[in-house]
Each structure stands twice: as C-alpha cells, then as structure tokens.
Amino acid sequence: MTEFLARLWPLDLLPSTDFRFDTLFRDILQHTSLNDDYNDEDLLDRVRVLECSDEQFARFVELLVHPLVRREQEQEGYVGFINGYLLRDGFELLAVDEFSGYPVYALQSIASGVDGHPKNLIFASTGPKPEIVISDAINNTIEIIRHAGHVLVYDRPIQTEGLTWSQLVDWWEAFAVLNGEPADRALYKRLYQSLATPPEQNFFHAYYSYLKTLKRSLPALLPQVYLHYDPFTARQLGGMRRLLRQRMDFLMLLPHRIRIVFEIDGKHHFAEGELASPTRYAAMVRADRELRLRGYEVFRFGATELLDKHVAQSVTKEFFQQLFDRHKIH
C-alpha cells in the first residue's frame, strides 16, 4: 500500500507528526517496512485520506484495485466490496482498460435519474380523482379532502435505494385491516383493483409472479400513479387539458433517484374511435419527451402483446431481467 500511496501524496515532502522523523515517508517506511506496526487504518489516517480532494480519493480507490496491487479473485472481491458502498452515492468502479490480461478499473458516476426526492406518492386509484388541497404551502404538505378512499398514499420517506416491494408491504401491514390475510396478498389484491384493462392486469400479475418466483425484495411496481394534478376536470375546462398524462399506468422507483414509467398502449392512445389520430399520437410522444427531459425513463408496451396471459408472462419476465441487469438490480 505504501508504494501506491506515494503516487498520490508527496510523502517525502510532507512533515511527519512523529518528532523522530523529518518526513512522512520516513515515518511510514519505519512503521510499515521495518517494524510493520502500522495497520491499514493507521496508515490511511497518517496520510489523511478522508481529508484529501475528491480527485485524489478517486485515484486512491482506483489504485486499491489496480492489477499491480491485486489480481484475480482478490481484485474481484475488493471491487465488489467497494462498489457496495460507492453505489449508495451514485458511483461505481467499472473496468475501462486492461493490464497484463487483468482489468483496470476507473471510478465513474452513475446516471442520477430525477432531481429531488419523492414527497407525495399517490397511487392505485380505483375511482374519481381525489380532491387535493395544499394544507401547508411552505412545507409542501397536501391533504386529500374528498375521494381519499379511492387512492393509496405512501407517506414514509423514500430512501436512496428506491421503493421495494417488501418496504411497501411493511407500510401496508402497519395501517391496513388485514382480517388474518397475509399483508402481501392483501396489498396485491388492492393494487390489482386499480387496473381497468386485461393487458394492464396481465402485466401487473406477470411482474409479481416473477418477483414471487425469485423471492427477492425487488422494486415495487406501482399502478395508476398521479404525476400531474389539475384540480379541474376536462369537462370543467371545456374539453381542454392543461396537463398531459395526469396519471401513469405504472411507476417504479429504483436506486439513485431513477424513476421508470411503464405505459400500456391501447387504441385510445393513438386513435379516435376507429380512425388513427395524429393529434392524439403527437400529444402522447410530447408527454414522453417532457418526462425524459426531467430524467424519467419511459417504456411502452402495446396492449396486444399483453392480451394473452402466457405471452404476457414471457414478455414481462424477459423485459425485467434485462432492465434489472442494466440498472444492476440484484
């Protein structure tokens, strides 16, 4: 470790805190090579790793797993261990080069997704639009004053790891009346009630069948989530819509503020009755552009590919396997 620390810090120019040595290099040499009485923590404390610049720290982490220092299983083990901590802050060690047949890693930033943190998660709508007021404008606190029984409101803080199914079940178990029914089953049934079409139902069922098979705490798939909210209906506005796509078919909150929208497109997305409608299609793709510019990912499924339950199972499983591989959800 001393050798690559010397590449980052001018150890022969820095003063030692031990009066017996004139430079930090002599200090470290004495206690690592000659006496070997500094452990790694002592050594890192001496060179003040936690007080260095971001650039120096990044280089330090990269050198920790460089092939000159570690190879094969030891290198893989260190990369996996360090990434477990780096991923929480939106960074990752990625292989970018090769040295003598071994990967060279560099510290890189991961896409950070949508700016800000979720505050009002209103979903699983089963009826009329809820009437919402801002009860505290300073703190951005909202209150549903009518039709509250037709939606669910997740009121717990959503951390950097996103929102998982197990977290959603824990929340549901804390306030719902279960009558002896398992919380996960009762929550699944309540979410399923908000789905109006067979393609949506098949997509939802297929995902949770996939999740149940893996028996892992994967991200929750939230149906019928309010994205925009206009207190007036289209009828009150004379048919005009001031905000497009007030509700999303499905939303998923992943780590690093990544939010993914899933839309199941029936004929009404691009047609008026039996005739194709360029106006409807243009409004749909415009709404997609606006979401993507804000950092959301948007994926669309044609309703016809989800009409058959067995086909929907196959399509959904394959899609989410690739999606989770891409975002390193394991």
Ranges of the chain with pLDDT below 70:
1-19, 21-40, 42-43, 46-49, 52, 111-112, 231-245, 268-271
User: Same structural domain for residues 288 and 207?
Assistant: yes
* pLDDT tens per residue, range 82-134: 888 887 777 888 888 888 889 999 888 776 678 777 888 999 999 888 888 88
Q: Please give the structure tokens belonging to residue 106.
A: 């560099």
Please, which residues bridge with residue 133 across strands? 143
Q: What is the pLDDT of residue 47?
A: 64
| Residues whose CB falls within 8 Å of the CB of residue 130, separated by 6 or more in sequence, listed in order | 122, 144, 146, 147, 148, 150, 151
The position carrying tokens 């989410």 is: 320
Residue 319 in any domain: the answer is yes
Residue range of the domain that includes 183: 121-326
Among 109, 139, 163, identify where a domain stops: 109
Structural domains counted in the chain: 2
Examine the domain organization and report whether 93 and 225 are in the same domain: no
pLDDT by residue (tens digit) across 47-58? 666 776 777 788
The amino acid at 290: E
For every residue of 103-172, DSSP letters joined together read EEEEEEEPP--SSS----EEE---SSPPEEEEEETTTTEEEEEESGGGSEEE-SPP-TT--BHHHHHHHH
Instruction: Please check whether residue 232 lies inside any domain of the structure.
Output: yes
114 found inside a domain: no
304 and 179, same domain (yes or no): yes
| CB count in 10 Å sphere of residue 187 | 22
Greatest CA span in the chain, whole angstroms? 89
Distance set, CA 227 to CA 12, 38, 191, 256 (Å): 58, 55, 17, 19
The confidence score (pLDDT) of residue 53 equals: 75
User: Do 41 and 147 sit in the same domain of this protein?
Assistant: no
As a whole number, the mean pLDDT across the chain is 82
